[in-house]
Amino acid sequence: MKILIASDLHWPTINGVATFSRNLAQGMAKLGHEVIVIAPSQTGRKSKEVDENHVVYRVAAVPFPFYQNYMIALNPNLEIRKIIRDFQPDVIHIQMPLM
């Protein structure tokens, strides 16, 4: 099954949300599913990286002024639509509302 996980936070950020999204992605991939994660970039620039057994797409983001070390994607709609169209996931898990 193809699984897409969208989260406001993902590894290497260290907190409960980031840890859960990474553990979920790794666990689903270990079960044989094809998994990608979409999360805001910690550097601000979009990128694509491999995290052990799944792919992470980082969308362009800016610092969130009310929370230290937190990046927010202001308008990721076009990037996310392209990723969804190309990947064609069977399941989409959305972890946080500010994605």
Q: What is the CATH number of the domain that holds 79?
A: 3.40.50.2000
pLDDT for the residue 20: 93
**Assigned domain for 73 exists:** yes
**Assigned domain for 88 exists:** yes
**Assigned domain for 99 exists:** no
pLDDT for the residue 86: 97
**Assigned domain for 76 exists:** yes
**Assigned domain for 63 exists:** yes
Give residue 49's domain range: 2-94
pLDDT for the residue 54: 94
Number of domains in the chain: 1
- What is the average pLDDT across 71-96? 91
Cis bond leading into 12, ω under 30°?
A: yes
Using an 8 Å Cβ cutoff, are 54 and 36 in contact? yes
In this structure, are strands 54-59 and 34-40 parallel, antiparallel, or unpaired?
Answer: parallel
SS3 (DSSP) at 80: helix
Burial class (CB in 10 A: 0-12, 13-18, 19+), 88: exposed
SS3 (DSSP) at 15: coil
Work out the percent of the chain whose per-residue pLDDT is above 70: 97
Mean pLDDT of the chain: 90
Residue with tokens 């362009």: 60
